[in-house]
Amino acid sequence: MNILEKITNELDMLSKSERKVAEVILASPSTVIHSSIAALAKQAKISEPTVNRFCRRLDTKGYPDFKLHLAQSLANGTPYVNRHVDENDTAEEYTDKIFESTMASLEQARKNLDSNDINRAVDLLTQASKISFFGLGASAIVAHDAQNKFFRFNVPVVYFDDILMQRMSAINSRQGDVVIMISHTGRTKSLVEVANLAKENDATVIGITAKGTPLAKECSIVLSVDVCEDTDLYMPMSSRIAQLALIDVLATGFTLRRGSKFRDNLKKVKDSLRSSRFEKKD
């Protein structure tokens, strides 16, 4: 855990003098890692033992150990953070911000994913007699991508981004079919209805959506990619990328479960595209 955050959190638990130390550190942590305990004590206008006690209260062995932790926190320097795009950003600035936010979202999504759920989902997919991917709007792209991947596995797979087709397909589903519903909000009415229809017709419904939403309630497994979208300028951005990464995970899990012979087959599919391309001259 980042020690700077920890200092901020425990600010109330500290004594008056210790808080002075905390303030000096928070004001300029990069100076502190090059200061001796005496220098820091002087700057905070308290005694050296107080600095030492402060360090121990933060569960470090002493001042040098504390500096080590501090140095590490600074090195991380909040690696990938959601940074808001600003009106006056240059191309370079907003490019960096968007890429960083996307990485931060992926990081967050990874933390929130439960590998047991993924395992169960992969189980169901490998045993499915038919797989359907449904999404609308930005999530339609994710469904589209999923179809593109699972299609290569030579299993019956469909994708629809049209409400009526989704409904018809859901009504025709039966035991052994797996339906994957993709929605960032989990609140799109028509999608929830489709999920319900699929469930009523004995299909297994897997949701790539937020937990505790109306859509999630219709699903037997919810793979939740909880990502905050507040960087986004009124467009779904990070969420769909996390969803796509999740599709990659499911597809990879699928191929691993199927064994090495199956992967040879995948290679053939890929190679079949070769004649459609210009040769690479190395």
Pick from 27, 18, 50: nearest CA to 37: 50
107 binds its own copies (CB under 8 A): yes
Residues from 71 through 100 that contact DNA (CB under 7 A): none
CB atoms under 10 Å from CB of 196, counted, come to 16
CA distance 106 to 226: 10
Binding residue (CB under 8 A) for its own copies from 233, 261, 272, 282 = 233
Least Cβ distance, residue 225 to DNA (angstroms) = 44
Side chain identity at residue 40, one-letter code: L
42 binds DNA (CB under 7 A): no
226 binds DNA (CB under 7 A): no
Binding residue (CB under 8 A) for its own copies from 87, 230, 261, 282 = 87
- For its own copies (CB under 8 A), the number of binding residues is 83
Torsion 68-71-72-78 (CA) sign: positive
Binding residue (CB under 7 A) for DNA from 2, 10, 29, 65 = 65
Phi-psi group of 59: left, alpha or beta (phi > 0 → left; psi -120 to 50 → alpha; rest → beta): left
42 binds its own copies (CB under 8 A): no
CA distance 27 to 51: 16
58 binds DNA (CB under 7 A): no
96 binds its own copies (CB under 8 A): yes
- In the bound state with its own copies, the residue whose beta carbon lies nearer, of 91 and 164, is 91
126 binds DNA (CB under 7 A): no
Pick from 75, 80, 77: nearest CA to 104: 80
